[in-house]
Amino acid sequence: MKRIVVVSQDPLLTTLADRLLSPHFRTLVLGGMVSAVDSIYNDIPDLVIAEIAPGDGGMGESINTLKEDPMFNQLPILAVIGDRPPAAFWEGLLVEDYLLKADLERDLLARVRLALSRAERVVEINPLTRLPGNISINRQLEDRLSRGEVFAFAYADLDFFKPFNDKYGFSRGDEVIKVTGRLILNFVKSMQPRGSFVGHIGGDDFVFIMDAGLIEGACGEIIRAFDQIIPTLYDQEDRDKGGVESVSRQGVAGFFPFIGISIGVTDTAGRGFSHFGELTGAASEMKHFAKKAKGSSYSMDRRTGQAT
């Protein structure tokens, strides 16, 4: 049975919603967004219905905070409002749909069913990290380039990932990918909450976009956190040894150190990139420089001039 969380302080609304929904769904009624967030963190529901009272900026803010995290980004939110608000009201508010209080009795069940079925349709996100994939990444780059925006673009991938995967199996390898995605996301978003972007190309390849002045700091933080956490994902014995006995990508057996992360960065300031392919090419070239270094590292493209 699908689970729905209803957040409102209006007893009329909650009683009505409960009466209409509980025959079909597991319905949980909560009085405020703080307890709702707590409950959602505990167990993600399939849909949230939230009343946004006029002038209640806190509710909108809580919803946005929740939805900014990729784990909850796919959670549909149906807003219930008293009166039809001005168009500007919806700007920047991360909800999927709305319903007027006056129409609840008539429309609620149908709207809920539609919202649930919409959410089931596949969205282009990586199932492991829940980060956007190639289509969104390319669109981000194209849009920014065509607007002539100045930004820095980073391309990251892992070293010695395959020996880890071979030794411990796929599901342990997936944990490494999830750790990587979370760390990149959290440091990029905490250092630049607005206008930044994190995408997951697939496998162990990630990209991110930030302001040129902030990206070097973010790379440093990501690497530091990565190198702290990764060893804890090894078995104690291998953690003590500093790596695993396994087989490399080239099929060579040997001892492989802890997984590292290599990041290549390029920016659009000094160079005229006309197409996003040139940009990703330059970043991936930088990444290969970074890969040559021992352990985790990043490498910045300091060249200027037209890319070839």
The smaller minimum CB distance to other proteins, of residues 94 and 307, is found at 94
Q: What is the CA radius of gyration of the chain?
A: 23
The smaller minimum CB distance to other proteins, of residues 236 and 304, is found at 236
DSSP state, residue 127: T
CB of 29 to other proteins, least distance (A): 17
CB of 150 to other proteins, least distance (A): 25
CA distance 20 to 181: 40
Query: What is the largest distance, in Å, between two alpha-carbon atoms of the chain?
Result: 70
The smaller minimum CB distance to other proteins, of residues 38 and 142, is found at 38
The smaller minimum CB distance to other proteins, of residues 61 and 143, is found at 61
Q: In the Cβ-directed half-sphere of 128, how many Cα atoms lie within 13 Å?
A: 22
- Cα four-point dihedral sign 14, 16, 21, 26: positive
CB of 181 to other proteins, least distance (A): 10
Query: Which residues, in sequence order, are CB contacts of 249 under 8 Å at separation 6+?
Result: 162
CB of 182 to other proteins, least distance (A): 5
The smaller minimum CB distance to other proteins, of residues 163 and 181, is found at 181
CB of 191 to other proteins, least distance (A): 10
Taking each helix axis as running N to C, give the angle between helix 11-21 and helix 104-120, from 0 to 180 degrees, rounded to the nearest 10. 60
The smaller minimum CB distance to other proteins, of residues 66 and 279, is found at 66
CA distance 259 to 161: 6
Q: How many residues does the chain have?
A: 308
Helix (H) or strand (E) holding 100: strand 97-100
Binding site for other proteins (CB under 8 A): 34-35, 37-38, 41-42, 44, 65-66, 68-69, 71, 128, 174-175, 178-179, 182-183, 185-187, 189-190, 225, 228-229, 231-233, 239-240
How many helices, marked H, and strands, marked E, lie in the chain?
11, 12
CB of 85 to other proteins, least distance (A): 25
